[in-house]
Structure 1
Amino acid sequence: MNDLVFIQNDEVLTDSLTIAEVFGKEHKNVKRDIENTISNIDILKTSEEARGLGIDFSSLKFERCEYKAANGQIYTKFLLNFDAFMLVTMGYTTQRAMLVKVRYINEFNRMKEALQKQQQVLQPKTQAEMLLLYAQQMVEQERKIKALEEDNARQNSRIEQLENKIEKRMTEEFEMQLVTPTQIGKMFEPAISGKEVNKLLQRAGLQWRVGGEWVPTAEGKKYSSSEPIQLENGKMVYQLKWQRRVKDIIQAEMEVTVK
């Protein structure tokens, strides 16, 4: 059997799984009781009677959280402090339930006392102890800040790598887009005509003229695609389009021609 209560974040708590186990109930039924209690509290909070009596509900802790079961599945449970526990189990009135509640009360008190003693031990008594505690807190704070900075640096590095990959891919996709020789010519400064682009592509060994049409060479097929277009007279012809990246090949060919 699990410990009835435990300390978490300087609070003495139990959970719905333990309550179900020690009271001999199904966990789903205990969770139902807790959810009903929470619903009733939400209603009571807005009631005139509660406001008139000045009742403070802040001492009640019902915290829903997740846990991994033995089968590897993720389920929900509730964490409860003493006040919340007593409110939920108020309706558990069998003789065995009463004995379990007394045992719970004893455990809550024992663990609360142990927590108070622990806090008293940790509480500095002299100025030297206070200075030492302050120094330890500063060191711990620096450690946490450094850890956060390192984590932030790792995250920024990952983001930068991802951005570089995206930028590279976008650039590659942009360079692989098909355009006409006329559009390629407009990429230059000053612009050149589509006819000049075709001549330069021919000089570069990427295409030749066959039957009055430009046809890609074996090398040119790596950079081009023939796409059908319909003329105004309704005739279908094929137009050779080129990937944007051939601009660099044309540029190199132009520089050779100038030399």
Structure 2
Amino acid sequence: MNELVIMKDQQAVTTSLQVAEVFGKNHRDVLRTIDDLKDVRNFTQMFSDGIEPDSYGRDRRIYYMNRDGFTLLAMGFTGKKALDFKLKYIEAFNNMEEAIKEERIQLPSDPMKVLELIFEANKNTDKKVERIDKDVKYLKDNQRIDSAKYSYISKQVSKKVYEYIDMHGLTLTAPQRSKLFKDISRGINEVTGVKTRSQLRQKDFDIADEFIDNWQPSTATVQIIKQMNNVADGQTTLGA
């Protein structure tokens, strides 16, 4: 069940898209089911609207839900997958209760032994804090960039392309300009390891910004634009 859970705003949540995939349902049907729950008390405490890009980078509506929202939604499903979920849910609670019982200890009467336990507990706490800090950094770095940074990157891409056009005194058609935009976008995706710009993570921001600042179109892109513009053979630049 762990693959269903993600971190969002320091809370463990899952999405309607993940639920649809795991339970073998159409995402539109899952959205419709959640929409029908809007009159339920505390709906907004269990569900929140969100946007996530599809495989083509287009925005699509999803719901985020916490554990209560997930339980309310999934308990209404029928079939083998729903039954498996219920059994795993019960098993998870049983295991947690058993672990709590096993961790209960009896403090020794010897003060020195008590001190040893305290020192050991502090040492373990420091290790846990260090591990948590690393986990938080990882989660923060791998979050999608916020809308302000995404907008900044988009503006820098447009600015850089038109700076290149002006610098070389070019007069390009819309299809030719499109080649330049595709070239710089492809480069951003390659250096950051994403498929579409909408998938950029927080840790990718500086990398993308530096790439845009140093971008020059590839030889292949320049050659294609020249061919579209009927530039004379032997000319190696787009400028006159």
TM-score range, shorter chain: 0.3 to 0.5
TM, length-normalised to structure 2? 0.36
The structure where strand makes up a greater share of residues is 1
User: In terms of Rg, which structure is larger?
Assistant: 1
The structure where helix makes up a greater share of residues is 2
TM, length-normalised to structure 1? 0.34
Q: Work out which structure has the larger RCO, using CA pairs closer than 8 Å and 6 or more positions apart in sequence.
A: 2
